[in-house]
Structure 1
């Protein structure tokens, strides 16, 4: 069975999470500089069987699009051109950063490690993936 990959897209870096082959467990994979995201995905898709990519959809509390949506739309267009056969879905990502930070606290992670924004992005991507899998 192919994997599902989730992206917490950001201006500077993008968190990446992926399922196991049975699509049961969501795990953080890495954080990639956003400018290197498409080459990273190309290499990953060559190595792993992925059937679906989830991209976080940032929304305001009133459900309107956030400011970063313009950048995400540009990425989505580039993604569709580069990977026309890959299915892509959007997933509401409100509160994922706060949830990621809280999970770091709950797990007993030291304060210095919690300041690692790349780790927060990776955990956020994992939460996006979990919300899709377990809904």
Structure 2
């Protein structure tokens, strides 16, 4: 954007640089306001939604989906990316933890139950367009 503005000349270079500074400041403020613990809640909600809001998700599937998002920090979270233990630590303050779940295909694994996130989603990262969260 700045290169094009420089080529255009006039007031455009100054405006483009001011816009870049404003965008950077907004991103920094957003990052400070929504730290990793809030970000993980929003990203987990997106994963559940992308998978059709299943009632449960295996921990491995949830972590894989979180780490596959190139715009999220989870692939670089910690020395080896987000791990089951790292996810537990991020969710601990919300009272959310994994449990042993029997899935429809008769397998059993550690996983997360969607409704356990509902209260945290409503409190810390509400989405007014997502009316089904209020119904649980």
TM-score scaled by length of structure 1? 0.29
- TM-score under structure 2 length normalisation: 0.29
Higher relative contact order (CA 8 A, sep 6+): 1
Q: Which has the larger radius of gyration?
A: 2
